[in-house]
A and B are shown apart, each in its own frame.
Chain A
Amino acid sequence: DAGVIQSPRHEVTEMGQEVTLRCKPISGHDYLFWYRQTMMRGLELLIYFNNNVPIDDSGMPEDRFSAKMPNASFSTLKIQPSEPRDSAVYFCASSPGQVGYTFGSGTRLTVV
């Protein structure tokens, strides 16, 4: 099992540009989570899906952020337009149920 796969590993973009982060969860996992990690705020849940359906997006900072899960094996997190304060490491995690989150290696986003 390759685990949770995220791409790209690193992304540097200019303010105002659109950024798309990608995640492939572990096969068979019903839950998918997007987290953001910064030194100041730690790990914050942005949104999570169950069976491809968004369940709770209350952590999404603002309308510039959107997430989709078109099928069980793929999810995207999009930021449009990006701002310097969006710079962080974004993690995707998946889980088969109530326990056992598996995190991906993250995407380090830098907005200049």
Chain B
Amino acid sequence: GESVGLHLPTLSVQEGDNSIINCAYSNSASDYFIWYKQESGKGPQFIIDIRSNMDKRQGQRVTVLLNKTVKHLSLQIAATQPGDSAVYFCAENMRGGSQGNLIFGKGTKLSVKP
């Protein structure tokens, strides 16, 4: 069936470097995508979202890129800090789907080395 997956289950970066977390999705009907951050012992926290009519969106130190041609989503974190260490999930929502059709990927663990 349709699913959201991640290329890299773990990512280790040096403090101050940029991080790139990737996500592949297979549902061409998806039109809304979200990145979440989950710290240990906490629930997922919204980071940034993007709609399918855009290919790039920037937030504070984060940028999401959407490539609909290859069904690929990425999250870029600039100047990665120790506080960025967490598991990052991408999620997709299908066009015309109900609110509940938010499908989460398995997650990528980001570790920031001081």
Chain A positions within 8 Å of B, measured between CB atoms, are 4, 31, 33, 42-43, 45, 48, 50, 55-56, 91, 93, 95, 97-106
Contact = CB atoms under 8 A, between A and B. Distances in A.
Contact of B100 (A55, A97, A104): A55
Nearest to A40: B106
Interface residues of B, number: 19
A93 B102 CA distance: 12
Interface string B91-106: 0000000111011111
A97 B85 CA distance: 29
B44 A99 contact: no
Contact of B46 (A33, A100, A106): A100
12 contacts: A4-B43, A31-B99, A45-B102, A45-B103, A48-B100, A50-B99, A55-B100, A56-B98, A91-B43, A95-B99, A101-B44, A101-B102
